[in-house]
Amino acid sequence: MFKIIVKEGVVFREFNIQFMDFVKVLNEVGEKMGFIPTITSAAEGEHTLNSYHSLDCAWDVRTRGLKLPQTTADTLRIALTEIDKRWEVIYGDAKHLDHIHIEFNLRK
Protein backbone atom coordinates (compact mmCIF):
# COMPACT_ATOMS: atom_id res chain seq x y z
CA MET A 1 0.00 0.00 0.00
CA PHE A 2 1.26 3.47 -0.85
CA LYS A 3 1.62 5.88 2.05
CA ILE A 4 2.14 9.42 0.78
CA ILE A 5 0.57 12.59 2.15
CA VAL A 6 -0.49 15.42 -0.16
CA LYS A 7 -0.56 18.91 1.35
CA GLU A 8 -3.93 20.62 1.10
CA GLY A 9 -4.15 22.81 -1.98
CA VAL A 10 -1.76 20.77 -4.15
CA VAL A 11 -3.11 20.44 -7.69
CA PHE A 12 -2.43 17.52 -9.99
CA ARG A 13 -3.66 18.15 -13.51
CA GLU A 14 -2.32 14.95 -15.03
CA PHE A 15 -1.05 11.60 -13.80
CA ASN A 16 1.52 10.63 -16.42
CA ILE A 17 4.05 7.80 -16.46
CA GLN A 18 6.66 10.09 -14.89
CA PHE A 19 4.33 10.78 -11.97
CA MET A 20 3.72 7.07 -11.51
CA ASP A 21 7.47 6.36 -11.39
CA PHE A 22 7.96 9.28 -8.98
CA VAL A 23 5.32 8.17 -6.45
CA LYS A 24 6.49 4.55 -6.58
CA VAL A 25 10.09 5.56 -5.81
CA LEU A 26 8.99 8.17 -3.25
CA ASN A 27 6.96 5.57 -1.39
CA GLU A 28 9.83 3.05 -1.46
CA VAL A 29 12.34 5.63 -0.17
CA GLY A 30 9.92 6.70 2.57
CA GLU A 31 9.50 3.11 3.71
CA LYS A 32 13.24 2.45 3.56
CA MET A 33 14.13 5.60 5.51
CA GLY A 34 11.23 5.44 7.96
CA PHE A 35 9.12 8.46 7.06
CA ILE A 36 5.84 9.22 5.31
CA PRO A 37 6.56 11.61 2.40
CA THR A 38 4.51 14.76 1.90
CA ILE A 39 4.08 16.27 -1.56
CA THR A 40 3.88 20.04 -1.10
CA SER A 41 3.64 21.24 -4.70
CA ALA A 42 2.74 19.97 -8.15
CA ALA A 43 1.09 22.04 -10.92
CA GLU A 44 -0.20 24.88 -8.70
CA GLY A 45 1.62 27.87 -7.29
CA GLU A 46 4.18 30.27 -8.64
CA HIS A 47 7.17 28.70 -10.32
CA THR A 48 9.75 29.97 -12.77
CA LEU A 49 8.76 30.51 -16.39
CA ASN A 50 10.36 27.29 -17.68
CA SER A 51 9.32 25.16 -14.72
CA TYR A 52 8.34 21.55 -15.24
CA HIS A 53 5.65 22.05 -12.58
CA SER A 54 3.40 23.59 -15.24
CA LEU A 55 4.02 20.55 -17.48
CA ASP A 56 3.07 18.06 -14.74
CA CYS A 57 6.66 16.78 -14.58
CA ALA A 58 7.88 18.34 -11.31
CA TRP A 59 6.90 17.86 -7.67
CA ASP A 60 8.17 19.12 -4.34
CA VAL A 61 8.56 17.00 -1.21
CA ARG A 62 8.66 18.42 2.31
CA THR A 63 11.91 18.16 4.23
CA ARG A 64 10.63 19.52 7.55
CA GLY A 65 10.98 16.76 10.10
CA LEU A 66 13.36 14.67 8.01
CA LYS A 67 16.45 13.65 9.97
CA LEU A 68 18.59 13.30 6.83
CA PRO A 69 17.16 15.46 4.01
CA GLN A 70 20.36 15.37 1.92
CA THR A 71 20.55 11.58 2.23
CA THR A 72 16.86 11.37 1.29
CA ALA A 73 17.46 13.55 -1.79
CA ASP A 74 20.50 11.46 -2.78
CA THR A 75 18.53 8.22 -2.35
CA LEU A 76 15.69 9.57 -4.49
CA ARG A 77 18.18 10.69 -7.15
CA ILE A 78 19.86 7.29 -7.34
CA ALA A 79 16.58 5.37 -7.52
CA LEU A 80 14.99 7.65 -10.11
CA THR A 81 18.02 7.89 -12.39
CA GLU A 82 18.19 4.10 -12.44
CA ILE A 83 14.79 4.31 -14.17
CA ASP A 84 15.73 7.16 -16.52
CA LYS A 85 18.72 9.53 -16.62
CA ARG A 86 16.41 12.51 -17.27
CA TRP A 87 15.34 12.65 -13.60
CA GLU A 88 16.76 15.54 -11.59
CA VAL A 89 16.58 15.91 -7.81
CA ILE A 90 17.47 19.29 -6.33
CA TYR A 91 18.06 20.01 -2.65
CA GLY A 92 20.35 22.25 -0.64
CA ASP A 93 20.71 25.36 -2.78
CA ALA A 94 19.22 28.72 -1.75
CA LYS A 95 15.82 27.95 -3.35
CA HIS A 96 15.59 24.37 -2.12
CA LEU A 97 16.32 24.28 1.60
CA ASP A 98 12.77 23.58 2.81
CA HIS A 99 11.87 21.01 0.16
CA ILE A 100 13.30 18.52 -2.30
CA HIS A 101 12.46 19.39 -5.89
CA ILE A 102 12.08 16.42 -8.24
CA GLU A 103 11.61 16.87 -11.97
CA PHE A 104 11.63 14.85 -15.13
CA ASN A 105 13.65 16.87 -17.64
CA LEU A 106 11.80 16.68 -20.95
CA ARG A 107 14.53 18.62 -22.73
CA LYS A 108 17.33 16.08 -22.28
Supply the mean pLDDT for the chain: 92
- Using CA atoms, how far apart are residues 84 and 70, in angstroms rounded to an integer? 21
Query: What pLDDT was estimated at residue 96?
Result: 87
Q: Where are the alpha helices (DSSP H) in the chain?
A: 17-33, 69-83
**What predicted TM-score, i.e. pTM, was given to this entire model?**
0.91
Please list the helix, strand and coil fractions of the chain in percent, rounded to the nearest 5, in that order.
Answer: 35, 20, 45
Give pLDDT, residue 85. 97
If you average pLDDT over residues 2-6, what whole number do you get?
91
Using the predicted structure, report yes or no on whether residue 108 has a pLDDT greater than 80: no
Distance of alpha carbon 14 from the chain centroid? 15
For 10-58, the pLDDT digits (tens) are 999 999 999 999 999 999 999 999 999 999 999 887 766 678 888 889 9
Total number of residues shown for the chain:
108
pLDDT of residue 55: 86
- H or E element, residue 99: strand 99-104
Nearest alpha-carbon partner for 40 in 105, 99, 81, 103: 99
- What's the pLDDT band for 70 if we cut at 50, 70, 90? very high
Domains along the chain? 5-104 (3.30.1380.10)
